[in-house]
Structures are given as C-alpha cells and as structure tokens.
Structure 1
Amino acid sequence: MAKSEQYNRIQRKVMSLPKAYLEATVPALEKSAEELADLQRRFAPEDTGALKNSIVVTGPHQATPAYSQPGGSRVAADNEVLVTAGNSDVRYAHLVEYGTAEAEAQSFFWPAYRLLKKRIANRVNRASRKAIKERLARD
C-alpha cells in the first residue's frame, strides 16, 4: 500500500470519529440521565408529589420545561441530555434544594448527582471508547 493511500485511509477514519462518538454516547447519556432522575426523585421530599413529578429528562434537540432548575428553559445540544427539576407549576425546586430564611434546605438534586457522577462518567467513556475502537477497526 502506498503511503498516500494509507494516509488517506487513516484520515477518513479520523474524520468519521466525531459522528461515531456522538452516536455511541447518546444512549449512554440517556441511560445515565434516567438513572440520575430516578435517584433524585427518591431523594426529593414528598409533600404533594409535585416536585418529584417535575424531575424530567430532556434529550438532544428537546427543550427543557419553563422555569426548570438549573438554568431555566433551553434546548439540549446534539450530545447533551439534561435532568431538570421544576416547571411552570413547580417554581420552587431551588428553594427546596438550597433552603430559605424560614425553611431548612432539603437537598435532593446535587447529592444524587454527586453519588452517580463517577458511574455516569465511566459509562459514557466506555461507550465512546468502544465506538472509536469499532470505527477504527472497521476500515
């Protein structure tokens, strides 16, 4: 095989990696987001159940609910899955999480994230490494 042919083959493989990476990581991100949302729902205080029900997962190219925390309404990117708490009816998720002058904090959102952070990172890294290895081996 000539050097230029080999170079072109390697270049094609490398240029196709971002697409393979995105395709492989989104399912891992979605699975991790659902796992995180489930744990956050278990940690959330249950007075009326509205706060628990407001914890949702938003997939790529979808908009988060208005008034959701953290960050309010926005559209998720190609390789982004968001977990939010709150909506137009439940505008107090941040007050429960951080507390107020009259009410003590009942953290549910960030403790769940901290518990699963390493597991989520490992899952996504495994999926991306597997996709890259398969893509490079295919050509």
Structure 2
Amino acid sequence: MADDLASFQAKLQALGRSASKCVGKAMETSAEEICDLARAACPVDDGDLKKSIGWTWGDAPKGSVSIGTVGDNAAMRITIYAGDAKAYYARWVEFGTKAHAIGKGSNSKLKGKSNQTGAQHNGARARPFFFPAYRLGRKRAINRIKRAISKAVKEAAT
C-alpha cells in the first residue's frame, strides 16, 4: 500500500515537471505565432509600431497595450503586447480616435504647421491589427496547449 502511494506521488511530481516544460514551450510558440500575425497585419509608417510587437513572461513593458495574459501564476504567465516609448500610439492605431480639438499653443502639428490658433483634428479611423491577430491565433494556441498537456500526462504515466 505504501509503495502504491509513493509511486502515485512520484508520478504526480513527474507530471508537474513535464507539464511545465511542455506547456511552456506550447505557450511560447503560440505567443510568437500571434505576434507574427499582428506584425503582418500592422500598418507601417516608420516601422516603430511593428517593431514594438512582442511577448514576455510576466507583465508587459510599461506604456504598451496588452492583449491580455495567459496563466494565473507569475511563473506561467505570458503577455502579448504592442507599443513602447517610441510607438506610444499603438492604441490609437488599433482603436482609432474621434474628432477632437487641438489646444491653442500646443506643440501638436496639424498638416505640418504649428498649432498656435487652436484647430480641429478630424480623428483617425481604426486600423486594427492586434486583436484580430489574437482572435485568429487563439483557437490554434488553445489546441496546442491541450496537446502539450496530453503529452505531459502520457510522459508522466510512463
């Protein structure tokens, strides 16, 4: 009886190690695939926004837009993001902007002229690249993680 319990506990520990390894690889592959989709769909002006798309274990860099996080604990949490200090406008490209006044005396440029009198900006249409990439890659990522879990269970059972 004690041997059966010890054997069962050993298999559970092996399952934890195997699952972390297999699922971690699947999550990394899926995150990179979603980033590739977002980069392909990203509108390019100077390339800064496209270069800012990435993923990381843990929290996204400050100032970036995040699709969200996958995983509950800090050790197994991936965040996919776009934007950084140089490409701070990621959310404006993704969601667009409505028409708005540009304040008098601001440093904003409107059609190449300094805005000293106050002006109206017509807004910018949304050019989504980030969330469509996530929606396109989500099902494949979920299936890849499910297969990794199955593989980990089979490895631990042997």
The count of corresponding residues between Structure 1 and Structure 2 is 129
Distance in 2 between residues matched to 1:7 and 1:53, nearest whole Å? 52
What residue in structure 2 maps to residue 24 of structure 1? 22
* Amino acid aligned to 2:80: V
- 1:97 corresponds in structure 2 to 94
What is residue 123 of structure 1 aligned with on the other side? 144
Following superposition, which runs of at least 4 residues in structure 1 exceed 4 angstroms of deviation? none
Residues 95-139 of structure 1: CA distance to partner in whole angstroms, max 9, x if unpaired? 1111110111111111011111110011111112101211121xx
Amino acid at match of 1:129: S
The alpha carbon displacement at 1:16 in A equals 3.5
Residue 90 of structure 2 aligns to which amino acid in structure 1? A
- 1:47 CA drift (Å): 1.4
**Residue 64 of structure 1 aligns with which residue?**
60
* Local SS of the residue matching 1:65: coil
Write the deviation string for residues 77-100 of structure 1: whole angstroms up to 9, x where unpaired: 322222210011111111111111
TM-score by length of 1: 0.84
Identity level (%): 39
Cα pair 1:65 1:88 within 8 Å, conserved: no
**Aligned-partner SS, 1:27:** helix
Q: Which has the higher helix share?
A: 1
Say which is worse superposed, 12-21 or 25-34, in terms of deviation: 12-21
Structure number with greater Rg is 2
CA distance in 2, matches of 1:122, 1:5: 36
Give, as a single letter, the amino acid of the residue that structure 2 aligns with 1:136. A
TM-score (norm 2): 0.74
> Secondary structure of 1:115's partner?
helix
Mark the runs of 5 or more structure 2 residues left unpaired by the alignment.
Answer: 68-72, 99-122
Report the Cα distance in structure 2 between the residues aligned to 1:7 and 1:49, rounded to whole angstroms: 58
- Matched to 1:19, the amino acid is R
- Distance (whole Å) between structure 2 residues aligned to residue 20 and residue 78 of structure 1: 15
Q: 1:80 aligns with which of 67, 77, 80?
A: 77
Aligned-pair CA distance for 1:38: 0.7
In structure 1, the partner of 2:133 is 112
Which structure carries more strand by proportion?
Answer: 2
Unaligned runs of 5+ in 1: none
